[in-house]
Structure 1
């Protein structure tokens, strides 16, 4: 059976951020920590070894695969900062149009630094993602 790699842990979010080598990226991580905490109302938790997540939801796909994941999150990685938002909502693309300098992957939005983006749009992306996931996966 498939085992989820990204599970909530008891590891320290602050210790993880303090271990980020790049001082500017570390500073941005603390700012993101404040923005995500304030916007979601959830305390940060480590998910796996490198994702800082906020809140959680339980998903179950038609295939039977199910698990838990953070509602939103981020990770200050060496190359870029990864931002994790819900992918199934068309409003995400509308918001990203005014987000600032970023690239997207299958599930992530990548930024180089916080100064490259519009923080107000970031807050809207966080709110939209949380709302979408709570509506899609109720009873949390």
Structure 2
């Protein structure tokens, strides 16, 4: 699937050049994993969507898989939480993370096969129709 003109224009403006190069690589990786074309969700390049609901009743939609090429690092959004991928993260290579985001400074030094496994597992967990939380709510799961 090809990226939309809007996504391509967004990626063409990404700086530094390393982050732009990484975004191009991720466009291909995410297309392989999801079989979908990307859409821009503000500054997140997202694939598909899922609906979540908090215990408070607040609810919304978010990308089922997505990333954002930020200046400091590329953010990989894992809606099912980083904790769900601890074993794979140990094999990934240099990274940092929060509860629902993986931060990569250079794709050239990480194992892209492992990254693809992580993205695939997260995407399928969220799109199976049974996952309705946000990463911060399901951090221990």
Confirm or deny that 1:46 pairs with 2:40.
yes
Equivalenced residues, count: 128
The two structures have a TM-score, normalised by structure 1, of: 0.83
Separation of aligned partners in 2, 1:113 and 1:64:
39
Separation of aligned partners in 2, 1:75 and 1:124:
18
Gaps of 5+ in 1: 1-9
Separation of aligned partners in 2, 1:46 and 1:55:
11
Is residue 40–residue 126 contact of structure 1 (8 Å, CA) maintained in 2? no
Residues 6-53 of structure 1 show CA distances to partners (whole Å, capped at 9, x for unaligned) of xxxx981111101113222211111111111111111110011x1101
Measured after TM superposition, the shift of residue 133 of structure 1 is 1.0
Separation of aligned partners in 1, 2:75 and 2:25:
14
The two structures have a TM-score, normalised by structure 2, of: 0.83
| RMSD of aligned residue pairs (Cα, Å) | 1.9
Greater Cα shift, 30-39 or 84-93 = 84-93
Separation of aligned partners in 1, 2:121 and 2:86:
11
